[in-house]
């Protein structure tokens, strides 16, 4: 399959030539074959005209719990622990495997339509999410969630290992698997050691929450005598590649040094951190150390959408406000975090740039709209003014999955109806507890 | 003209019945005639089917400089004073009257398509902005900008008075005029006294920047011995109605008391304040005092869009983060600020609710999209997940100005082309300085 996208303004995220305008991007066998400034000669199975459109790498959602779309808007504006204990956890215990499948499809539909071509997930019933990834055409880095305090912790780990064996590299490589110990404070050291050994044996990475809240840091210090990053470093967890550490809000300088040196992927979640008032992550300090940072939405119960373009904007805004410095996290850096930065955080070395040899995960944004005119700076417009709804066409591995704002890979009406029906049943208590 | 909107989920902003779902809203002579929960009998010139749509009051942009759309993305991520002195002011001096007209149309197009039905503006060449308001069908509360340090200050005031005489109440009442002394630190007391006297005589309000930055507060204290609000209170400015005070970021408790007691309209601009790192306004304290607060985008050079729905979200998020309290500015309050709160801040008592007798400034939002499903809470979805691009149909004074995402009142292609052409000429230095 050979494909040409022509006449686009290409925001490449490639530092050697950031903008090619007009640009001609040819795709062959799912990868970018060439990025040229003149119409190339050749034969194509399909040519996509992109006059007036910005072509950019697909956005990467480096941390979410995709099936939590089922709980979008169910409970907001609450303190974290009452929110979890009285609202989210009781309801989550009623979410069944098929609910996860439909909730995953709903979230994937939202992400693809909003230009997100890769997401990194941690949730229950992960094989159902993997099925949704396989069917929908998105790229997913998936892990089940392991909680040390559950009686089923050992069985859950065994199931997670089976999941990795079954799904890692499936769907033409679009499904990648990780192990997902929830957090240092919910997984005691013996379990974490098991997980690390299993990940090493399987050759996969680990997805874990780290230092999201101050309480979490205190809990880690009480149970291990160490802050979360130091506790994980001592266990050798960061010797694995890739590790995706979600949040990393409350860090000491020494911990930042470790995260950078170990090339740990960090998912910064500005929207969720703001909504839950978790704190403001030390993003400028992490970037100054060369840490691998991407952006995540977190789950739809704490965001409430899966809109990575919005996270790009929030990343550009919140640190300016928090530091009283309008020069931190400039537009180019924010866009990098939402694309190439996220891909590197997930260990996807060939994702996140419009560069020959990279995977053809690409997004066309309709720049011919009043809020994106005049065209002084396309990067500035993408970061400070564009919206997910401006996304027009999306490719993953060179396959068109969204065309002219229509999702080609699933029956969107059915997905919205099924997810709504199931969400209503879950809220109404019409599901038995899962455990 | 009698119009019926049927089968909508009506988020009324009317505290006596916040949600009518399904709702039937009848409109007569530009005002809301009835809001019912069953299909009314009667004859209609037009019936708008709104199944799957949320009907809400139009959004109110309580502070902007609309023609600055011409500078969108021209300069970002800079310190405030170098940004103003080396980028914005030199360029602005080259913006001519016809440029303001086209820049205003561009901004108005963006606002109407994004569900903004009223805006409050301060800029140069205000009669050209008024012309754009008259033609486009939006509601505008307009003022010219008066700067005391200009040699032309007296002429400018005279021109502003002529503008009020010509335009206040024009276009069927859609154009309202104010006087626009820029700020206490740029307008010395003698000029402000003149402005206050003129506003009193004309029977119009005043639009002024107040306490946007710490430097501004220091400047006021140095020149007058008083902080900005106290200086304006001593001059009697707050005896006028309405007064729109933009920003109000750096306030002492005593100043908040005055603003609340005098029923001063306050435009909170979270996006601009974050991007320029101006500080975080004491919104919870202002609201606790019963102050009249609305939301503004500020100009497109410091935002960079005119998206009030985004300001609603930022208002809900930034204070949670800043206070480390996830319960402040809940969704309902944020939505109020972007609609009814803004209308009251501008002295528009009959705008901003879906309530019989109110002006029919209404927005239909397409809720039948993945990011707005499942429908646990429509208000939560509007605040935390919806985007300006979800707006489908917009009415101002009962007239349909946007239908199914198409702007009916101007030639959008022409507006984007003219604005882009003129912006490029301005940047290239192909305009003589205005003064």
Q: Give pLDDT tens digits for B241-269.
A: 999 999 999 999 999 999 999 999 999 99
- For the stretch A172-191, what's the b/e string if a residue is b when 16 or more beta carbons lie within 10 angstroms of its beta carbon? eebbbbbbbbbbbbbbeeeb
pLDDT at B89: 87
**What 3-state class would DSSP assign to A266?**
strand
B331 touches chain A (CB under 8 A): yes
Contact by Cβ (8 Å): A386, A421: no
Clarify whether residues B286 and B388 are in a common domain: no
User: pLDDT (tens digit, 9 = 90+) per residue, A72-120?
Assistant: 999 999 988 899 899 998 898 899 999 999 999 999 999 999 999 999 9
Task: Determine, yes or no, domain membership for B434.
Answer: no
Q: Answer whether residue B33 shows pLDDT above 60.
A: yes
| Phi–psi pair at A405, nearest 5 degrees | 70, 10
pLDDT at B431: 79
Rounded Cα–Cα distance for residues A365 and A8 (Å): 10
Rounded Cα–Cα distance for residues B241 and B239 (Å): 7
Burial of A427 (0-12, 13-18, 19+ CB in 10 A): middle
What residues 341-400 of chain B have any CB closer than 8 A to a CB of chain A? 368-371, 373-377, 380-381, 384-385, 387-390
Chain A positions touching B374 (Cβ under 8 A) are 69-70, 72-73, 419-420, 423-424
| Phi–psi pair at A81, nearest 5 degrees | -70, -45
Rounded Cα–Cα distance for residues A435 and A100 (Å): 15
Q: Answer whether residue A242 shows pLDDT above 70.
A: yes
Clarify whether residues B217 and B280 are in a common domain: yes
Q: Residue A434 — pLDDT band, cuts 50, 70, 90?
A: low
User: pLDDT (tens digit, 9 = 90+) per residue, B220-231?
Assistant: 898 889 999 999
Structure tokens at B318: 């930034």
Q: Answer whether residue B379 shows pLDDT above 80.
A: yes
B42 touches chain A (CB under 8 A): no
Query: How many beta carbons lie within 10 A of that of residue A70, not counting itself?
Result: 31
pLDDT at A430: 83
Clarify whether residues A185 and A288 are in a common domain: yes
Cβ–Cβ gap A373/B420 under 8 Å: yes
Cβ–Cβ gap B384/A275 under 8 Å: yes
Clarify whether residues B8 and B100 are in a common domain: no
Q: What is the mean pLDDT of residues B107-119?
A: 98
Chain A positions touching B381 (Cβ under 8 A) are 72-73, 304
Task: Determine, yes or no, domain membership for B433.
Answer: no
pLDDT at B134: 98
What's the domain range around A124? 59-345
Q: Answer whether residue A435 shows pLDDT above 60.
A: no
Task: Determine, yes or no, domain membership for A201.
Answer: yes
Q: What is the mean pLDDT of residues A8-14?
A: 98
Long-range contact list for B75-81, CB < 8 A, 24+ apart? B75/B301, B76/A330, B76/A331, B76/A377, B76/A380, B76/A384, B76/B275, B76/B304, B77/A326, B77/A327, B77/A330, B77/A331, B78/A326, B78/A327, B79/A326, B79/A327, B80/A326, B80/B213, B80/B276, B80/B277, B80/B278, B81/B215
Q: Which residues contact A67 (CB under 8 A, 6 or more apart)?
A: A95, A99, A100, A101, A103, A104, A107, A123, A124, A125, A128, A129
Clarify whether residues A209 and A224 are in a common domain: yes
Q: Residue A19 — pLDDT band, cuts 50, 70, 90?
A: very high
**DSSP assignment of A56-109, as one string?**
EEPEEEEEE-GGGGGGTTSS-S--HHHIIIIIIHHHHTT--HHHHHHHHHHHHH
Three-state DSSP string of B377-417: CHHHHHHHCCCHHHEEEEEECCEEEEECCEECCCCHHHHHH
pLDDT at A125: 85
Task: Determine, yes or no, domain membership for B94.
Answer: yes
Q: Residue B432 — pLDDT band, cuts 50, 70, 90?
A: confident
Clarify whether residues B278 and B295 are in a common domain: yes
Clarify whether residues B74 and B52 are in a common domain: no
pLDDT at A287: 98
Q: Answer whether residue A10 shows pLDDT above 80.
A: yes
Ramachandran bin of B121, using left for φ above 0, alpha for ψ from -120 to 50, beta for the remaining angles: beta
Considering only CB atoms, A304 lies closest to which of B320, B324, B384, namely B384
B114 touches chain A (CB under 8 A): yes
pLDDT at A419: 98
Handedness of CA A348, A353, A357, A360 (dihedral sign): positive
For chain B, the distance separating the N- and C-terminal CA atoms, rounded to the nearest angstrom, is: 47
**What 3-state class would DSSP assign to A357?**
coil
Q: What is the mean pLDDT of residues B99-122?
A: 98
Structure tokens at A109: 């539909």
Chain B positions touching A370 (Cβ under 8 A) are 69, 106-107, 109-110, 113, 412, 415-416
Clarify whether residues B313 and B389 are in a common domain: no
Rounded Cα–Cα distance for residues A274 and B322 (Å): 8
Residue at token pair 């086209």: B102
pLDDT at B309: 98
Rounded Cα–Cα distance for residues A410 and A416 (Å): 11
| Phi–psi pair at B201, nearest 5 degrees | -65, -40
Q: What is the mean pLDDT of residues A207-223?
A: 93
Cβ–Cβ gap B321/A423 under 8 Å: no
What residues 245-284 of chain A have any CB closer than 8 A to a CB of chain B? 271, 273-277, 279-280
Return the top range by mean pLDDT from A148-157, A180-189, B243-252. Answer: B243-252
Task: Determine, yes or no, domain membership for B419.
Answer: no
Rounded Cα–Cα distance for residues B336 and B343 (Å): 10
Return the residue in B11, B61, B71, B72 with the most chain A beta carbons within 10 A, the one to mutate for interface testing. B72
User: pLDDT (tens digit, 9 = 90+) per residue, B204-246?
Assistant: 999 999 999 999 999 889 888 999 999 999 999 999 999 999 9
Compare all CA atoms of chain B with the CA of A368 and give the residue at the minimum distance: B416
pLDDT at B429: 86
Contact by Cβ (8 Å): B378, B56: no
Clarify whether residues A374 and A291 are in a common domain: no
Task: Determine, yes or no, domain membership for B37.
Answer: yes
Clarify whether residues B45 and B97 are in a common domain: no
The domain that holds A82 is classified in CATH as 3.20.20.140
Query: What ranges make up the beta strands (E) of B223-312?
Result: 243-247, 265-268, 292-295
**What 3-state class would DSSP assign to B48?**
strand
pLDDT at B435: 52
- Kindly provide the ipTM of the predicted complex, given to two decimals: 0.97
Q: Answer whether residue A231 shows pLDDT above 60.
A: yes
Contact by Cβ (8 Å): A72, A29: no
Q: What is the DSSP letter of A39?
A: P
Structure tokens at B56: 């809400």
Cβ–Cβ gap A377/B73 under 8 Å: yes
What residues 296-315 of chain A have any CB closer than 8 A to a CB of chain B? 300, 303-307, 314
pLDDT at B414: 98
Structure tokens at B426: 């301005």
User: pLDDT (tens digit, 9 = 90+) per residue, A300-327?
Assistant: 999 999 999 999 999 999 999 999 999 9
Considering only CB atoms, A106 lies closest to which of B324, B370, B376, namely B370
Task: Determine, yes or no, domain membership for A171.
Answer: yes
Clarify whether residues A25 and A130 are in a common domain: no
User: pLDDT (tens digit, 9 = 90+) per residue, A372-390?
Assistant: 999 999 999 999 999 999 9
Clarify whether residues B244 and B360 are in a common domain: no
Ramachandran bin of B382, using left for φ above 0, alpha for ψ from -120 to 50, beta for the remaining angles: alpha
Rounded Cα–Cα distance for residues B383 and B295 (Å): 13
Contact by Cβ (8 Å): A181, A206: yes
Q: What is the DSSP letter of A32?
A: E
Count CA atoms within 13 Å of residue B306 on its CB side.
Answer: 39
Q: Which residues contact A235 (CB under 8 A, 6 or more apart)?
A: A189, A192, A193, A196
Cβ–Cβ gap A114/B325 under 8 Å: no
Pairing mode, strands B265-268 and A19-28? unpaired
Task: Determine, yes or no, domain membership for B268.
Answer: yes
Rounded Cα–Cα distance for residues B181 and B184 (Å): 8
Question: How many domains does chain B contain in total?
Answer: 2
What element of type H or E holds B49? strand B46-49
Q: What is the mean pLDDT of residues B398-408?
A: 98
The domain that holds A375 is classified in CATH as 2.30.40.10
């Amino acid at each position: 399959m050979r494909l040409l996208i022509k006449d686009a303004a290409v925001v490449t995220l490639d530092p050697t030539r950031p903008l090619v305008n007009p640009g001609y991007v040819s795709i062959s066998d799912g990868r970018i074959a060439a990025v040229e400034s003149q119409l190339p000669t050749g034969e194509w199975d399909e040519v996509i005209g992109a006059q007036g459109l910005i072509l950019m790498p697909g956005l990467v959602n480096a941390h979410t719990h995709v099936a939590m779309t089922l709980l979008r808007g169910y409970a907001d504006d609450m303190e974290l622990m009452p929110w979890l204990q009285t609202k989210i956890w009781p309801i989550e215990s009623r979410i069944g495997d098929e609910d996860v499948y439909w909730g995953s499809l709903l979230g994937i539909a939202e992400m693809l339509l909003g230009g997100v071509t890769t997401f990194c997930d941690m949730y229950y019933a992960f094989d159902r999410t993997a099925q949704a990834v396989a069917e929908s055409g998105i790229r997913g880095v998936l892990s089940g969630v392991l909680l040390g305090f559950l009686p089923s912790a050992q069985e859950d780990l065994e199931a997670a290992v089976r999941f990795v064996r079954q799904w890692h590299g499936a769907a033409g490589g679009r499904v990648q698997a990780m192990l997902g110990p929830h957090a240092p404070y919910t997984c005691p050291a013996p379990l974490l050691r098991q997980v690390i050994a299993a990940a090493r044996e399987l050759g996969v990475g680990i997805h874990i929450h780290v230092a999201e809240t101050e309480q979490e840091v205190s809990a880690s210090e009480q149970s291990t005598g160490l802050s979360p990053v130091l506790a994980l470093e001592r266990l050798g967890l960061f010797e694995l590649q890739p590790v995706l550490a979600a949040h990393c809000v409350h860090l000491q300088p020494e911990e930042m040094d470790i995260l950078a040196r170990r090339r740990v992927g960090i998912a910064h979640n500005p929207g969720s951190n703001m909504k839950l008032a978790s704190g403001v992550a030390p993003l400028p300090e992490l970037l100054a150390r060369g840490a691998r940072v991407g952006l995540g939405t977190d789950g739809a119960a704490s965001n409430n959408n899966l809109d990575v373009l919005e996270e790009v904007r929030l990343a550009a805004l919140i640190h300016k406000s928090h530091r009283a410095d309008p020069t931190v996290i400039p537009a180019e850096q924010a866009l990098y975090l939402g694309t190439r930065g996220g891909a590197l955080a997930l260990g996807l070395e060939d994702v996140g740039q419009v560069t020959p040899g990279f995977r053809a995960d690409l997004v066309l944004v309709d720049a011919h709209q009043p809020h994106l005119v005049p065209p002084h700076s396309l990067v500035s417009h993408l970061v400070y003014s564009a919206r997910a709804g401006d996304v027009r066409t999306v490719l993953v591995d060179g396959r068109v999955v969204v065309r002219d704002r229509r999702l080609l890979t699933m029956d969107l009406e059915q997905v919205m109806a099924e997810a709504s029906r199931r969400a209503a049943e879950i809220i109404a208590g019409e599901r038995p507890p899962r455990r």
